[in-house]
Structure 1
Amino acid sequence: MTQHANPHHQNQDQQYQDSPDIERRNLLKITGAGIAVMSIGSSLPSSALAQTQSQPNNEWDKTFAKSDKVDHRKVTFNNRYGITLVADLYLPKDRADKSPAIALSGPYGAVKEQVSGLYAQTMAEQGFVALAFDPSYTGESGGEPRHVSSPDINTEDFSAAVDCLGLLPEVDRDRIGIIGICGWGGMALNAAAVDTRIKAVVASTMYDMSRVMAKGYNDSTTKEQRQQGLEQLNQQRWLDAEQGKPASGPVSLELQGGEPQFVVEYADYYKSKARGFHPRAINSNSAWTVTNPLSFMNMPLLSYISDIAPRPILLVHGEKAHSRYFSETAYAEASEPKELMIIEGANHTDLYDQVDIIPFDKMTGFFRQHL
């Protein structure tokens, strides 16, 4: 079923209107949204950007306030490819001996100190053990080179997080769900399709990264444009091979003027120290590698979304989000039980940190019912 919710929030931004010219021009700019088929000439050497893996510590360095209802500690675990992932574990102070648990990640180009951590801490306040992790090659997690992503490895990251949760003495391993946000919403759905240990999945303000990289926004990329993009990316491979390391794109979300409203909204979150800036986040302070889109361009993430059934899916999206069509398509292709919740007046990034808009009560009820 599809629901519409009014969070009593009036968004003044106009809904993004489709424009092939704007979409194509900004395909080259929006590295923070992970879209880019970037021109070779715009790339920077990897050393020009902050790409060093940080040493994990337990200091509170989040973009949100620490809750007094939750215990927090840093944990590490390995995925199936031997990459060490770093995560923040949030434990409700008032909890059962064996609690239900949720693994979380996203958005695409963010770190666990931002959106996924806020979601995790909030769900822990509701009684769930919650694990917000940095995906492979990003944040405090391992993997070289830095700042690349993979539809396979990043799907595996979710399953590795389930491994981690299931080994904790505080967790009932038969009651584990996942939440994926933005680009990691697609990864979460892909993980749930293959990992039957995941009993319920929420995708919030979801992006299908394979679809947008292969086809552009609103599937507007022509066959000729796709071929041109592949030619550029593979020419970049020669340059990377000659240099012995991958080049990075321009620093994410450095606005020059003329960007569409949704790009301005991304920058408002990721670049604002009062809101979501974090020095380890690719979208705040760095860039993906130039060739990062390659593995997504012919590996569709949601091919088996119908296989998640009979385990339930909850899709949450903003009414005014430019990305809303990703959730609507996923909902149409998924099998029952499924639900699509549209948040009235909300744009894409409102569901990053606007706690009066994010339907945490709905998510709590969903997981209490199904875990």
Structure 2
Amino acid sequence: MALPSMIKKLSLGILVSSTILGANHMAQAATSTVPLVQKWDKTFAKSDSVTHQKVTFKNRYGITLAADLYIPKAYNGKKLAALAVGGPFGAVKEQSSGLYAQKMAEQGFVAIAFDPSYTGESSGTPRNVASPDINTEDFSAAIDYLGLRPEVDRNRIGAIGICGWGGMGLNAAAMDTRIKAVATTSMYDMSRAMGHGVGDGDDRYDAGDRQAVLKHLNQQRWVGAEKGQPATANHDLYVDDNGKVTTADRILPETLDSNPNPVQKEFFDYYRTDRGFHKNAVNSNGAWTATMPLSFMNMPLLSYIDEISPRPILIIAGEDAHSLYFSKDAYQKAKQPKELVILPNTNHVDLYDRMDKIPFDKLTEFFNRNLK
């Protein structure tokens, strides 16, 4: 056989083989499932008045999200209002968001709590990455899923965001007009938190600090590029008076100091104890990728919060919460209809799981009134 003819046939064979392999790979990717733990593994007790099932769905980036779906056992075939629940930042659906979803299902809503992309039982690599864009999309993907459920009236869907997913939930509502009402508890604006530092009632970084943090994070990119994989670290960076940036190698320590920072102790008492520990949670068990804050620093989440109007917003926070200023400032930026509820004798983490503190009656009334 002539050499050109051989090359032509060989090239055609390679092309066909590559096409078949590529098609098989795409088919496998499209049909692959995320392995899910089927036994009850939550940090809260299972309710006898709702049904629970594990579900999966894809966001528009092709990431498979794992979620817990809660439906009232009293469901009689009439379409119900539904809620997508996310947060806190660094938590998983087995923790606070699942507790909220189950409780709201007890109140008559179909509710879903999801693991954000790259965390928990959801897919996405590298692991332990957060993104203001992709995590906002996670909320909308949950809306997609709920709107296709036979139990759900797709014109009566709301969202609840806890802690860092409060900011993500408000951002999603500003963009996704299918979210008819949105509520937050202990809200963090994570783009402000990472771009300007969480302080005592206000931002911690000045302009010089912010530049120092950016240089530190971009230097860390060189380290990751040279090693071929990202390092991990706490996403809260500190800048001293000389402009030196430091951070811990994990979000929460194995043990607390004898005289710990009160806010650190608050988080530790939830994530690192039997009260709220879960092996899948970034906050319970490790750290984010070290360069993760970069994407938040230049993408402010609440730029368009005023565009949620005329859909209603409910913002709930504790009067003793270090994060209260996030809620107050978001409330000021939002347009009517809006409501700010400040709970006495309540700190930030109280609203993760303290049933005597979380105003589920207020949440129920808000969504019943606005998801008619």
| CA contact 1:54–1:139 (8 Å) conserved in 2 | no
Contact 1:200 1:370 in 2 (8 A): yes
- Name the aligned partner's letter for residue 223 of structure 1: A
Instruction: Give the CA deviation at 1:220.
Output: 2.1
**Secondary structure of 2:273's aligned partner:** coil
Matched with 2:57 is 77
- One-letter amino acid of the counterpart of residue 213, structure 2: G
Does the alignment pair 1:235 with 2:219? yes
Asked whether the equivalents of residues 78 and 160 of structure 1 are also in contact (C-alpha less than 8 Å), the reply is yes
Q: SS of 2:53's equivalent? A: strand
8 Å contact kept, 2:68–2:114:
yes
The 8 Å contact of residues 155 and 191 in structure 1, kept in 2 or not, is answered as yes
* Residue in 2 that maps onto 1:221: 205
CA positional deviation for 1:224: 1.1
Q: 1:161 aligns with which of 142, 145, 170?
A: 142
Letter in 2 for 1:143: G
Structure 1 residue 256, shift from structure 2 partner: 3.6
| Post-superposition offset of 1:127 | 0.4
Say whether the 8 Å CA contact 1:58–1:74 is kept in structure 2. Answer: yes
Q: 1:221 to 1:80 in 2, by over 3 A?
A: same
* Count of aligned pairs: 318
Match of 1:144 among 115, 120, 125: 125
By relative contact order (CA 8 Å, sep 6+), the higher-ranking structure is 1
Say if 1:103 and 1:177, in contact at 8 Å, map to a contact too: yes
Q: Deviations over 1:134-185 (max 9, x none)?
A: 0000000011000010000000000000000000001100000000000000
Measured after TM superposition, the shift of residue 257 of structure 1 is 4.8
Tell whether the 8 Å contact from 2:132 to 2:301 is kept in structure 1 after alignment: yes
* 1:10-29 matches, cutoff 5 A: none
Query: What is the CA-CA distance between 1:299 and the residue it aligns to?
Result: 0.6
Task: Tell me which amino acid in the other structure corresponds to 2:364.
Answer: T
Check the 8 A contact 2:34/2:64 in 1, yes or no. Answer: no
Larger Rg: 2
SS in 2 for 1:206: coil
Contact 1:109/1:282 (<8 A) preserved: yes
CA distance in 1: counterparts of 2:262 and 2:292, whole angstroms: 25
**Structure 2 counterpart of 1:89:** 69
Q: 2:85·2:114 contact (CA, 8 Å) conserved in 1? A: yes
From 171, 185, 196, give the equivalent of 1:190: 171
- Cα distance between partner residues in 1 of 2:261 and 2:68: 34
Matched residues in 2 for 1:155 and 1:165: separation? 16
Q: Is the 8 A contact 2:252 2:286 kept in 1?
A: no
Q: How far did residue 55 of structure 1 move? A: 2.5
CA-based RMSD of the aligned residues comes to: 1.1
> Which one is further off, 163-172 or 96-105?
96-105
Aligned to 1:127: 108
Question: Which of 30, 54, 61 matches 2:41?
Answer: 61
Amino acid at match of 2:339: E
* Counterpart AA for 2:267: Y
Cα 1:295/1:322, change in 2 over 3 Å: same
Measured in 2, the distance between the counterparts of 1:150 and 1:331 equals: 23
Cα distance in structure 1, aligned partners of 2:194 and 2:231:
18
Q: Which blocks of at least 5 consecutive residues in structure 1 are unaligned?
A: 1-52
SS in 1 for 2:154: strand
The Cα offsets for residues 276-323 of structure 1, whole Å up to 9 and x where unpaired, read as 000110111111111010000011000000000000000000010000
Deviations 1:335-371 (A, max 9, x none): 0000000110000000001001100000000000000
> SS of 1:176's equivalent?
strand
Q: TM-score scaled to structure 2, two decimals?
A: 0.84
Q: Please point out which of 81, 86, 91 is paired with 1:100.
A: 81
Q: Following the alignment from structure 2 to structure 1, what is the Cα–Cα distance between the partners of residues 141 and 258?
A: 41
Q: Which residue of 2 aligns with 1:285?
A: 285
Distance 2:35 2:91 in 1: 17
Q: Does 1:263 align with 2:264?
A: yes
Q: What's the TM-score, normalizing by structure 1?
A: 0.84
Structure 2 distance, partners of 1:171, 1:245, is 42
Q: Residue 210 of structure 1 corresponds to which residue in structure 2?
A: 191
Q: Does 2:305 match 1:305?
A: yes
Offset at 1:244?
A: 1.1
Percent identical among aligned pairs is 64
Is contact 1:318-1:342 (8 Å) kept?
A: yes
